[in-house]
Structure 1
Amino acid sequence: MELIFATNNAHKLEEVQAMVGDKFILKSLADIGCTDDIPETGITFQENAQQKTDYLRSRYQVDCFGDDSGLEVDALNGEPGVYSARYSGSRDMEQNIDLVLSKLGDSSNRTARFKTVISLFLQGEQHFFEGSVEGRIIEQRIGTEGFGYDPIFIPDGYTQTFAEMSLAEKNKISHRAKAIAKLVAFLKEKTA
């Protein structure tokens, strides 16, 4: 069975395909000729993820899934949240990190989490899967791996930032890996 993943990130597609196995053939937006910039105007991760699946099924009539994720910092009332990728008004992650650190200042409350929500539209039904990882924001960047806010986030139970971990280490505990694992378990159960 074919399933469209609302992404053009080849690495993400390959990673999820490996987890799903051969019962589903995953295709990217490019694979179906979708070059549109799919809107993300929701105020929650779930709304943004669902916008992607609604967009694809209304235009292409396909089974599909999409995700949205971001960083929630408790002392900033959950910011940057759904605006994580453009928190500073641009998609420049260095500026976004600077803004988070500036707003936090010397606050002692540095608890935060990364969160992912996946929206799946399959055989006429909508399903959601969520993953999160708790941690804290440190005062300066450490590490060069990963992307986004990884250099300032240390997950609970660890002493390294996500940016200091290998991709394999991060993928064992990340918010996205947890949500994808739930999606994969559901898909495997559907095709058992």
Structure 2
Amino acid sequence: MKLVLASGNRGKLREFREAFGQELLSMDEVLGEEPVIVEDAPDFAGNALIKARTIAERLGPDVIVIADDSGISVPLLDGAPGIYSARYAGEGASDRENLLKLVGELKKRGVKRTPAYYTAAIALVGGGIEQVVHGWMHGEVIDEPRGKKGFGYDPIFIPEGYDRTLGELDESIKAKISHRAKAIGLARPLIGLLQRKEERR
């Protein structure tokens, strides 16, 4: 069964390919386009399922679709940006614009650093199953970006147990401790089961 990632995000594709190998295809590789998907669920799991189901319906039964919905939540901001992390500064906002809006919200409150956490929900749709797994990474956000590695809010997020941001830490460290890495660790054996089940048919 083909593995397809329901995302056009280059950063996410890179992280997932490191976990699943180059046989993981992106949406535009199999569809020739990135379809507009309305993510209107109230939580990460619901939005991940919407993406996975939409692509699975277009590709048929011989595909396992992997969809990720993830974001950062800041308790000080009542959990914002949360599920709106990718469009916190508005529809079509860049990673930089979203990050700067969050920095602005911290500065407004006179806060230099405050607890925050990342959530990743990974949905698997295919082979007659729908499954969602979660991963979390806790730490703090700061009011000044540091480092140029990673993507999204990484330059202002310091993981628990570290004194540098994800923008400063080596990618190999992020690959072990991130919310997405934890969720991928749960998704990988499920995908293996699905593939073996298909091979036995």
TM-score range, shorter chain: 0.7 to 0.9
What SS is found at the alignment partner of 1:133? strand
The correspondence for 2:164, drawn from 137, 160, 167, is: 160
What SS is found at the alignment partner of 2:185? helix
Moved more, 182-191 or 148-157: 182-191
Deviation at 1:144, TM superposition (A): 1.5
Moved more, 25-34 or 151-160: 25-34
- Among the aligned pairs, what percent are the same residue? 35
Instruction: Answer whether contact 2:113 2:142 (CA < 8 A) is retained.
Output: no
Deviation at 1:43, TM superposition (A): 2.2
Residues 26-175 of structure 1: pairs in structure 2 closer than 5 A: 26-35=24-33, 36-61=35-60, 62-90=63-91, 91-104=93-106, 105-107=109-111, 110-175=114-179
Cα 1:47–1:34 shift into 2, 3 Å: farther
5+ long unaligned stretches in structure 1 = none
Distance 1:18 1:98 in 2: 29
CA deviation string 1:80-112 (max 9, x = no partner): 011111111151333322322232322487110
The alignment's C-alpha RMSD in Å is 2.3
CA deviation string 1:141-177 (max 9, x = no partner): 1111111111111000001000001211211111111
Instruction: Answer whether contact 1:2 1:63 (CA < 8 A) is retained.
Output: yes
Instruction: Answer whether contact 1:116 1:175 (CA < 8 A) is retained.
Output: yes
Q: Which runs of 4+ in 1 moved over 6 A?
A: none
CA deviation string 1:41-62 (max 9, x = no partner): 2221111111111111222224
Q: How many residues align?
A: 190
